Each structure stands twice: as structure tokens, then as C-alpha cells.
Amino acid sequence: MLEEDIEVAIKVVVVGNGAVGKSSMIQRYCKGIFTKDYKKTIGVDFLERQIQVNDEDVRLMLWDTAGQEEFDAITKAYYRGAQACVLVFSTTDRESFEAIPSWKEKVEAEVGNIPTVLVQNKIDLLDETVLKNEEAEALAKKLKLRFYRASVKEDLNVNEGVFNTAGGSHSGQNSNMINGGAVISLRPNKQRTKKNRGLGGRCGKL
């Protein structure tokens, strides 16, 4: 098998209640676009972006999972094989904040303790906030998660924060670096797939 046929990939699942901005966050990171019209994700969606880690091409696969309970049976199957997780709640939705521990448990039930970050989205709507900053920080501390405040609409802390670290290395896992941020070990993730997929650094969608 030729070295050119080996591809390095990282699977990241993005989870949380519906309407917190998971799909918008992935679209912003992969395509650089933002649409304010809400469209419920049915089951699971998928986008990817080519990145460079230690001078090596890496395919970052972002799985956008539905936030509604009726899709639980579908989405749980897609957690398997994930190497990092992004938990998202909204500044304007207290229920989404309170559901974070449950989402974390759902992911861990399928894949164990993987590198995970907590994201408070929609901080551009702080005048409509339904929770205190201290509450979010306390939850992150309790769950031992790296915490980011982000605004997909304003493109704040999406590229530079959340996906720059892609989960961090707080779980004690070996880490490599993406643009100065820690990310999970790439060694186990080499696949027998052709590197040349014609993405040219852009995202593809299934």
C-alpha cells in the first residue's frame, strides 16, 4: 500500500438541543456562510474541511446531529467512532443549557470519555440572555470541559476558538496541534482512503 493512499481523518460530533445553532456553526466553519433561517436537522448531516496538522493533510469530519428526542435512535449510531465532541447550548435558551449534562452522557454511553468542549452560542444576543455567566462557567468546571462563548452570526470564536482546538486534550490523551490549539492524537485515525478527493481545502457534503 502506498503512503499516498493513507488519509488522516478526525470525526467530531456536534450535539445539543434543537435551534441552538449547531448546523449554523458547522456551515460557518466549513463554508464561511451564515443563514439566519432555522431549518431543523433531520437525523444527521455531515460537512468536512481539509486542514493542516504538523504539515500533514487532515480531513476534519463534522457530524451535525439532530437535537430533538425523536431522532435519538438515529443520532446515537452516528456518535460511534467520534474522536471529539462539541456540546452546544444557546444564550437565549435555558433548557438547552440545562440539557448539556444529558447530552454529554449520551455521547459517552456510545464512545466513552473523548475530548469535549462546551460552547455557549448566540452571545450576540446577550441582552436576551436567560442565564448568568457564572452559571455557564460553573457547569464547564463541574463537567471538566474547556468552555467557549461564540457567535456564529458575528463569526466570533468559531474558527479561532471552538474548532481551532477540536476538543482539546484535557482528557489526558496524546495531543497534536492545530494552529496552536491542542487536538486529539491522530495516530489511530489513518484510513485506507485516497488522499486526493478533489476538495482543495473546501468542504464537501453528503
Instruction: Give CATH superfamily name and number for 3-192.
Output: P-loop containing nucleotide triphosphate hydrolases (3.40.50.300)
CA atoms of 204 and 171, how far apart (whole Å) = 30
Strands 56-65, 84-90: pairing kind: unpaired
CB proximity list for 123: less than 8 A, separation 6 or greater? 91, 149, 150, 151, 156
Q: Looking at the DSSP assignment, which residues form a beta bridge with residue 11?
A: 61
Q: What b/e string do you get for 141-166 counting C-beta neighbours within 10 Å, with b at 16 or more?
A: eeeebbbbbbbbbeebbbeebbbbbb
pLDDT at position 201, please? 41
Where do the structural domains in the chain lie, given as residue ranges? 3-192
Q: Looking at the DSSP assignment, which residues form a beta bridge with residue 15?
A: 87
Q: Copy the grid coordinates of residue 200.
A: 482543495
Closest CA to 73 of 44, 113, 108, 116: 44
pLDDT at position 191, please? 47
Task: Indicate the pTM of the whole model.
Answer: 0.76
Per-residue confidence in pLDDT tens, the chain, 206 aa: 455 556 688 899 999 999 899 989 888 888 887 776 656 665 567 788 888 777 788 888 998 877 676 677 777 788 889 999 999 999 999 999 999 999 999 999 999 999 999 999 999 999 999 999 999 999 999 999 999 999 988 988 887 667 765 433 333 333 333 333 333 333 334 444 444 444 334 444 43
